[in-house]
Amino acid sequence: MAKDAKIFVAGHRGMVGSALMRGLQSKGYQHIITRKRSELDLLDQHAVYNFLAAEQPEYIFMAAAKVGGIHANNTYRADFIFENLTVETNVINGACRADINRLCFLGSSCIYPRDCPQPIREEYLLTGPLEQTNEPYAIAKIAGIKLCESYNRQYGTNYISVMPTNLYGPNDNYDLNNSHVLPALIRKAHEARTRGDKELVVWGTGKPKREFLYVDDLADACIFLMERGVLDGLFNVGTGEDVTICELAETVMSVVGFKGKIVFDANMPDGTPRKLLNVDRMRELGWQSKISLGDGIAKAYADFLTRPAM
């Protein structure tokens, strides 16, 4: 990408989009286009088509999405599938209509089967049933991947798909009703320490294993792929290492300074038993993550402390 290339970051105010903004700006990209939802509703097909036709960005990073944790995904199933399908369809088809040939679509590792072999390779997509608690969201993201593949094949576009593992970092969602596990733990541990609690209650058994990637590493990977001129394909982005939820909770407690005891609520769902991505494709291209889990959680906690009281 030329430093003066016109780049549209869809969803620039979210966790991933804001990380992309930081990454692009730090690398000297000078012509980044953004729109707040009040200025451009990505659910509005005609508005998206008109915007892309008028602005003609050379590159699009598709980071806009409706996201949430197990509770939100399982409760608002219709909202998750409808909104994500609509937004990605509007942007991807709108890009093709406007002759925009370079696009990076952001998905999620939940696209893979619940019980597929570990670590998860890209070719395991569509080889088995999905995790039921987030199936609607996963189906929407799979559709986005297939949109990119299909437009590349039929129209000769160069749209790539990036599948990150569990993300965390600045601008994360700390609402306990719909947050992911790591930001939820950060908030719970902070509030428990502030109150002087003796225990920290964690959902599930603590046994499932998860991989966590600091969001600025994801942004770096996406920019790396576009700069390298990668024109097609699906790419897992992660650290290649995972931890149990119990180990994660212990690390969060250490960073936050909570000295109490962990209590697991086994009545709450665990979700997928294990979800570790195989990241060989990215490593073969010359990219790997840089920020360790401990350092990343410390950065995330520092960001949490800057937020207004919830």
Binding residues for NADP(+): 11-17, 106-109, 141, 164-167, 180
Backbone dihedral angles phi then psi of residue 140, each to the nearest 5 degrees: -60, -40
Active site residues: 137
| Dist. CA 163–CA 283, nearest whole Å | 14
Q: Tell me the one-letter amino acid at 46.
A: H
Cite the annotated binding site for substrate by residue number.
188, 203, 210, 270
Which residues, 6+ apart, have CB-to-CB distance to 105 below 8 Å? 62, 88, 92, 144, 145, 147, 148, 159, 160, 161, 162
Give the helix/strand (H/E) hosting 162.
Answer: strand 158-164
Q: Tell me the one-letter amino acid at 30.
A: Q
Q: Would you call the peptide bond into 208 cis, given omega within 30 degrees of 0 as the criterion?
A: no
Cα angle value 188/294/213 (rounded, 5°):
85
Max distance between CA atoms of the chain, in angstroms, equals 60
Cite the annotated binding site by residue number.
11-17, 106-109, 141, 164-167, 180, 188, 203, 210, 270
